[in-house]
Amino acid sequence: MQRRNLAKWFWRVTLIASFIVLSQPLRALAAKADVATIPSDGSLSVTAAETEAPRSSDSSVGRVAPTDWLPQSLALGSWRLGPLKLQPTLNVQLDWFAEGNNGWGGHFAPPLQESRFFFEHSNKGGLNADLDLEHYGKLTGRVSAIFAMTGGGLNAAATNYGDIQARDHSIEEGYVEWRSGDLFSALGEDALKVIGGRYTYQIGDGFLFYNGVSGGGNRAAAWLAPHHAFDQSAILHFNAHGVTLEGFYLSPNDEPATHTELVGVDTELQLFARFKTGLTYANIFRSDTRERHGLNVMYWRGEGTPFRKLRDFYLASSVAVESNGNRVSNALGWYITPSYTFSQLPWQPTLYYRYASFSGGGDNGNRNFDPLFYGMSDWGTWYQGEILGNWIVSNSNLNSHQIRLNLSPNDTVNMNVIYYHFLLDSRMQNLVPIPVEPVTSKNLADEINVIVDFNITSWWTMAITFSVDIPGRAAQQIVGGRQTWIQSGMWSGWTF
């Protein structure tokens, strides 16, 4: 009881202080109605340089110069020892959530309805090393560790049930990378890379390969999800003349451990400077998970501006097919996303539509699509819905319609309004782990997310979210709840 009271007072003081501190820059933001420059694909990102933010991996929105009341940089500096350069890094994240009608007021085990308020925190400290080998390229490496915690109450997925003040500290990265530099000058700079160790391996927008950590509430901070690195990895990367070819070995850092190992090859090709395509094949040759052991995956993707005279129109699509004998029979996952940026209008609105489909059902569930190591490169990608996708479902036996409006009033503020309509692919649902009779409707839920990002400086980023999720007939039949799930949240990240 005493810990809970301390947590409540901590958050009250934190919120009051945050609003006081933010009042001045937000007034300044209102006066700066400069229009941001949006890339040709219409994408926008919310993450500061080197920030391990939970929703975006690289920054494509320009930043205004820090205001007078903030320092230019909070970098920790670096040290040189001859050809060796050492640079420490630190990333701090903090979030807070308030909820109502959790789990639509239905029956879950553990009981989601007990979640009201909770917060998460993570510290990621690391050390980068660069060794110049002159004509023989460059050798780089990184080690990092993360302390993460959840507190204040039961989180929205009840992953900290029985351990409300959940804490975890563990090694994150530990890898070495060699780049060829100009060693193969005919092929171009850094045409060859070799990477080995605990490394974050990602392909595309996170559809299948983005997060090498799963289970255990992502080591305490389930929404922040600060861990991404695979437990073991080996990557051979070749890039020359617009063609990228990679061979990879991966073993995920999952909990409980499934001893999963896979190998694969990935290739990407840039076409006509306006469109790029990629193809990946992977084989999971070892896993304690029955459906994964022996799984074959074929994954194609493409994106770009297909029409020369419509440069504001962007199209992205992916298709993945999985097979594993009688265990998995041609499970299919795919999506298509046309978008259009109204570049001549104030705030340069970008309108997206996406249809995504992940198969399910079949004989003994052999059509259930395995989403593998998916993650989120931007709001609205592969944790589908700030409520449903973050806390309840994965990308299996699920179809979704998404409409997203993105607005960029200036270089500092970015806004998203996202609507989802979720449908089960098969009435043999896998929403909850307990056996449930097949539902009579595939209508799962409707969700609206409103998200405002503040890229205040290169080292300080904030986001405010508000979401509602309305259960459909299928959700009502599965969990017995009919209430509208409401959630609000605040996130802040600092990079040193």
Q: How many CB atoms lie within 10 A of CB 134?
A: 10
Mean pLDDT value across residues 63-74:
63
pLDDT tens digits, one per residue of 450-473: 999 999 998 999 999 999 999 999
Cα–Cα distance measured from residue 441 to residue 487, given in angstroms and rounded to the nearest whole number = 26
What is residue 298's predicted lDDT score, i.e. its pLDDT? 98
Higher confidence at residue 234 or residue 36?
234
pTM of the full structure: 0.83
pLDDT higher than threshold 70 for residue 382 = yes
Number of domain units in the chain? 1
Q: Has residue 320 been placed in a domain?
A: yes
Which CATH number goes with the domain that contains 247? 2.40.160.100
Higher confidence at residue 364 or residue 264?
264
**Tokens, residue 311:** 């440069």
What is residue 434's predicted lDDT score, i.e. its pLDDT? 59
Mean pLDDT value across residues 126-139:
94
Position 43 confidence tier, pLDDT thresholds 50, 70, 90 = very low
- The overall average pLDDT reported for the chain is 85
Mean pLDDT value across residues 382-402:
95
What is residue 425's predicted lDDT score, i.e. its pLDDT? 94
Mean pLDDT value across residues 57-61:
38
* Highest mean pLDDT out of 36-45, 182-191, 346-355: 346-355
Position 111 confidence tier, pLDDT thresholds 50, 70, 90 = confident
Q: Work out the angle at residue 308's Cα, subtended by the Cα atoms of residues 302 and 310, and round it to the nearest 5 degrees.
A: 90
What is residue 219's predicted lDDT score, i.e. its pLDDT? 65
Higher confidence at residue 10 or residue 129?
129
Between β-strands 296-304 and 253-254, what pairing exists: parallel, antiparallel or unpaired? unpaired
Q: Has residue 26 been placed in a domain?
A: no
pLDDT higher than threshold 50 for residue 94 = yes
Position 436 confidence tier, pLDDT thresholds 50, 70, 90 = low
Amino acid symbol at 380: G
Contact yes or no for 291/328 (Cβ under 8 A): yes
- Percentage of the chain beyond pLDDT 70 is 84
Position 220 confidence tier, pLDDT thresholds 50, 70, 90 = confident
Q: Has residue 225 been placed in a domain?
A: yes
Position 186 confidence tier, pLDDT thresholds 50, 70, 90 = confident
Q: Has residue 230 been placed in a domain?
A: yes
Position 48 confidence tier, pLDDT thresholds 50, 70, 90 = very low
Mean pLDDT value across residues 430-448:
81
What is residue 245's predicted lDDT score, i.e. its pLDDT? 96
pLDDT higher than threshold 90 for residue 342 = yes
What is residue 57's predicted lDDT score, i.e. its pLDDT? 36
What is residue 241's predicted lDDT score, i.e. its pLDDT? 84
What is residue 89's predicted lDDT score, i.e. its pLDDT? 95
pLDDT higher than threshold 70 for residue 216 = no
Q: Has residue 19 been placed in a domain?
A: no
Cα–Cα distance measured from residue 107 to residue 98, given in angstroms and rounded to the nearest whole number = 20
Closest-CA residue to 192 (of 230, 152, 244, 122): 244
Mean pLDDT value across residues 13-32:
39
Contacts of 2 (CB under 8 A, 6+ apart): none
Q: Has residue 461 been placed in a domain?
A: yes
Contacts of 478 (CB under 8 A, 6+ apart): 106, 429, 431, 432, 436, 439
The full 3-state SS of the chain, as one line of letters, equals CHHHHHHHHHHHHHHHHHHHHHHHHHHHHHHCCCCCCCCCCCCCCCCCCCCCCCCCCCCCCCCCCCCCCCCCCCCCCCEEECCEEEEEEEEEEEEEEEEECHHHHCCCCCCHHHCCEEEEEEEEEEEEEEEECHHHCEEEEEEEEEEEEEECCCCCCCCCCCCCCEEEEEEEEEEEEEECCCCCCCCCCCCEEEEEEECCCCCCCCCCECCCEECHHHHCCCCCCCCCCCCEEEEEEEEECCEEEEEEEEECEECCCCCCEEEEEEEEEEECCCEEEEEEEEEEEECCCCCCCCCEEEEEEEEECCCCCCCCEEEEEEEEEEEECECEEEEEEEEEEEEEECCCCCCCCEEEEEEEEECCCCHHHCCCCCCCECCCCCCCCCCCHHHHHHHHCCCCCEEEEEEEEEECCCCCEEEEEEEEEEEECCCCCCCCCCCCCCCCCCEEEEEEEEEEEEECCCCEEEEEEEEEEEECHHHHHHHCCCCCEEEEEEEEEEEC
Contact yes or no for 456/462 (Cβ under 8 A): yes
Q: How many CB atoms lie within 10 A of CB 116?
A: 14
- Percentage of the chain beyond pLDDT 90 is 65
Position 160 confidence tier, pLDDT thresholds 50, 70, 90 = confident
Question: Phi and psi of 363, rounded to 5°?
Answer: -80, 115
Position 489 confidence tier, pLDDT thresholds 50, 70, 90 = very high
Higher confidence at residue 438 or residue 276?
276
Position 369 confidence tier, pLDDT thresholds 50, 70, 90 = very high
Q: Has residue 379 been placed in a domain?
A: yes
Position 427 confidence tier, pLDDT thresholds 50, 70, 90 = confident
* Highest mean pLDDT out of 32-46, 145-159, 206-220, 339-353: 339-353
Residue that the structure tokens 């570049």 belong to: 343
Contact yes or no for 449/380 (Cβ under 8 A): yes
pLDDT tens digits, one per residue of 241-263: 889 999 999 999 998 899 999 99
Mean pLDDT value across residues 426-443:
77
> Picking from 43-57, 59-73, 151-165, 464-478, which range would have the lowest pLDDT averaged per residue?
43-57
What is residue 359's predicted lDDT score, i.e. its pLDDT? 96
**Tokens, residue 118:** 């909770």
What is residue 244's predicted lDDT score, i.e. its pLDDT? 94
Amino acid symbol at 176: V
What is the span of the domain harbouring residue 483? 35-495
Q: Has residue 6 been placed in a domain?
A: no
Mean pLDDT value across residues 207-231:
86
Contacts of 369 (CB under 8 A, 6+ apart): 320, 322, 331, 332, 333, 358, 359, 360, 395, 396, 397
